[in-house]
């Protein structure tokens, strides 16, 4: 299907002289629309996980006090991907909310991953390389930044 579409378009390209930029945009927009809908699904899943955690967090002691005036830093289990996963799957409210936020942080990262596939399908090696660089920076931030921090 994709291949057939592309052949048809290159026909038009030869006949009417539509610019390469125009073709490139047409492919980009179609792929991006699919990716954008996946992104929205990711945000919705994240929101539902956060809400589930919020119910568990608020229900037991709604009249307690909160204090965010001074910075203490989050405990270890809410700082790493491993820690958050463990905390969430042992049913802790804070862990479940943090997992929802982690899903949210992961949505743009997943989008960049899909873009690599999309550029590879178009045979655009230069942009596969650029996008892989962006993905590497994002993964470093999520998994490797504690090395410096």
Partner 1 sequence: MWHTVELNVIEFTFLVWAGSLAAGFLGALTGLGGGVVLVPLLTIFFKVDLHYAIGASLVSVIATSSGSAAAYVKEGFSNIRLGMFLEIATTLGALLGAFLTAHIPVNWIAVIFGMMLMYSAYVSRRTRPRTDDTQPPDKLATRLKLNGTFPDTTGVREYNSYRVPAGFSIMFGAGTLSGLLGIGSGALKVVAMDQAMKIPFKVSTTTSNFMIGVTAAASAGVYLSRGYIDPALAMPVMLGVLIGSLLGTRVLVKTKTKNLRLVFSLVIVLLGIQMLWKGLTGTL
Q: Which of residues 61-80 bind partner 1 (CB under 8 A)?
A: 61-66, 68-71, 73-75, 78-80
Q: Does the footprint of partner 1 cover residue 16 (CB under 8 A)? A: no
Q: Are 131 and 116 spatial neighbours (Cβ–Cβ below 8 Å)?
A: yes
Residue numbers 100-119 binding partner 1 by CB under 8 A: 100-102, 104-109, 111-112, 115
Tokens of 134: 């962006």
Listed in sequence order, the residues at least 6 apart from 106 whose beta carbon sits closer than 8 Å to its beta carbon are 42
Tokens of 76: 């270890």
Considering only 33, 86, 91, 117, the residue that binds partner 1 (CB under 8 A) is 33
| Least Å from the CB of residue 23 to partner 1 | 9
Considering only 11, 24, 90, 125, the residue that binds partner 1 (CB under 8 A) is 24
Considering only 2, 11, 25, 82, the residue that binds partner 1 (CB under 8 A) is 25
Burial-class residue 56 by CB neighbours within 10 Å (0-12, 13-18, 19+): middle
Phi, then psi, of 73 in degrees rounded to 5? 85, 145
């Amino acid at each position: 299907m994709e291949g057939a579409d592309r052949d048809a378009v290159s026909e038009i390209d030869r006949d009417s002289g539509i610019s390469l930029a125009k073709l490139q945009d047409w492919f980009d927009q179609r792929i991006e629309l699919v990716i954008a809908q996946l992104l929205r699904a990711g945000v919705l899943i994240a929101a539902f996980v956060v809400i589930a955690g919020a119910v568990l967090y608020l229900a037991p002691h709604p009249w307690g006090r909160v204090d965010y005036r001074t910075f203490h830093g989050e405990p270890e289990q809410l700082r790493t991907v491993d820690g958050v996963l463990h905390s969430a799957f042992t049913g802790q409210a804070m862990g479940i909310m943090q997992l929802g936020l982690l899903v949210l942080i992961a949505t743009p990262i997943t989008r960049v991953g899909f873009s690599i596939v999309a550029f590879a399908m178009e045979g655009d090696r230069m942009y596969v390389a650029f996008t892989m660089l962006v993905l590497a920076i994002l993964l470093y931030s999520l998994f490797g930044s504690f090395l410096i921090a």
